[in-house]
Structure 1
Amino acid sequence: MAFDWSWFWPEFLTAINQTFYMVIVGLIISIIIGLPIGVVLVITRENGILENKIIFNILNVIINIFRSVPFIILVVAIIPFTRLVVGTSIGTTAAIVPLVLYTAFYIGRLVENSLLEVDHGTIELAQAMGATPWQIIWRFLLPEARSSLVLALTIATIGLIGASAMAGAVGGGGIGDLAITYGYNQFKTEVMIITVVTLIILVQLVQSLGNIIAKKLRRK
């Protein structure tokens, strides 16, 4: 029996829009949360410019907890919190809540690793010049790590795309929902193939763009 494409493309375009919505909004909020977390981890760690073992250890444990929980379990575990934030636990907007919690702390760890790559001599030079901790962060630490930060955010974006696909398993919409509803449940192999190829293309585009931007920043 020939595959009927008439219904598929409208559903596919809707799924693509939902995926972009989840990824873009989720990434923006995750960066707003994750970037400061990564900076705080670096400056409060041992021998950091604002060493504070209590804050560092608390953040470190929180990040490890969220990173150790698989996304599909996290979605279910925080349903009450999701309802509190957006008023529902089902739908594309509701899926953004667990996506942010899943990605923000991951970004925090990636940012930490990127900032730790900055030569400590740069920090010592800034301190010798009398720079304040705030000036060290914004004028020395972040600019020196910008290329590495771009690659870190690229990795986080790819992870977010994958997580947004899994959100389809719990009614989050997007490409994952399309693949499960029609490709898996209705045994439509064509749908599965198209959704998988679409996700591969998205990941390749994001990775290529991240590599290009990071390369240009390194040259500067």
Structure 2
Amino acid sequence: MIQELIELLWPALLETLYMLFWSSIFALIMGTALGVTLVVTEKGGILEATGLHRVINMVINCIRSIPSIILIVLLLPLSRLIVGTTLGPTAAIVSLSIGIAPFLGRIIETSLKEVSIGKIEAAKAVGASPFTIIFRVLIPESLPALVRGVTIAIIAITEFTAIAGAIGAGGLGSLAIRFGYQRFREDVLIATVIIIILLVQIFQWTGDYISRSINKKRFKFD
């Protein structure tokens, strides 16, 4: 019984980790671009462009308003266009990345806005370019908050992978539904839930540890 359970859980866990890794990478790239753009293009920003800011803000709000499973379904045609299929973990990465990027973008925007205006003004006063201000002031100064935000996003992606499992993405979510629920295998259902909880705890602990380490080093040098 235990051997059978392991044979079911191991491939599903690998699929979930595969989706998590690549979805997190792509969502981080898109979310960072969105968050930084929102901050620098707002009124009074270092690259003020209120029209662009309003458009991006509206797009993010619209995407975030769509329930997760509906958003995943809506993005399936895009998955087919990019990877040639709507089934499996690779196809799910497209939906997961795009689905979580606006959420991550909003978190990054909030984190960057925590940076003191005085430090930004000081950088401007010495002639720093917008590029320098972004990568030498905004991001480094908000790094602990950014780490915490990325941690929240990764945990949200973990939830997304379970939801995506309901529509053929594979992973632990699919296993829980196909074997745990539909075949009345309580052992499979409980085991998948425990693994997902453990994953979330590991991600949260790791994110908190990194954030605290950055703060300690910063205070040490200060």
Note if contact 2:72-2:99 (Cα within 8 Å) is conserved in structure 1: no
Aligned length: 217
Structure 2 counterpart of 1:124: 121
Structure 2 Cα separation of the partners of residues 88 and 205 of structure 1: 32
Identity of aligned residues (%): 42
C-alpha RMSD of the superposition: 0.9
Structure 1 counterpart of 2:207: 210
Alpha-carbon deviation of 1:83?
0.7
Structure 2 counterpart of 1:62: 59
Structure 1 counterpart of 2:38: 41
Alpha-carbon deviation of 1:75?
1.6
Answer yes or no: is 1:138 the counterpart of 2:135.
yes
Alpha-carbon deviation of 1:7?
2.7
Answer yes or no: is 1:15 the counterpart of 2:8.
no
Alpha-carbon deviation of 1:37?
1.1
Q: TM-score, normalised by structure 1?
A: 0.96
Structure 2 Cα separation of the partners of residues 79 and 16 of structure 1: 22
Structure 1 segments, 4+ long, off by >4 Å, are none
Per-residue displacement from partner, 1:50-75 (whole Å, max 9, x unpaired)?
11111101110111111111121012
Long gaps (5+) in structure 2: none
Alpha-carbon deviation of 1:6?
3.7
Per-residue displacement from partner, 1:53-101 (whole Å, max 9, x unpaired)?
1110111011111111112101211222111011001111111111001
Answer yes or no: is 1:195 the counterpart of 2:192.
yes
Answer yes or no: is 1:183 the counterpart of 2:177.
no
Note if contact 2:120-2:137 (Cα within 8 Å) is conserved in structure 1: yes
Corresponding residue SS for 2:2: coil
Structure 2 Cα separation of the partners of residues 76 and 141 of structure 1: 36
Which has the higher mean CA deviation after the structures are superposed, 75-84 or 95-104? 75-84
Structure 1 Cα separation of the partners of residues 142 and 106 of structure 2: 14
Structure 2 Cα separation of the partners of residues 76 and 138 of structure 1: 36
Structure 2 Cα separation of the partners of residues 210 and 114 of structure 1: 15
Structure 2 counterpart of 1:90: 87
Q: TM-score, normalised by structure 2?
A: 0.95
Structure 2 counterpart of 1:27: 24
Corresponding residue SS for 1:158: helix
Long gaps (5+) in structure 1: none
Structure 2 counterpart of 1:158: 155
Structure 1 Cα separation of the partners of residues 72 and 29 of structure 2: 21
Structure 2 counterpart of 1:73: 70
Note if contact 1:66-1:101 (Cα within 8 Å) is conserved in structure 2: no
Note if contact 1:151-1:214 (Cα within 8 Å) is conserved in structure 2: yes
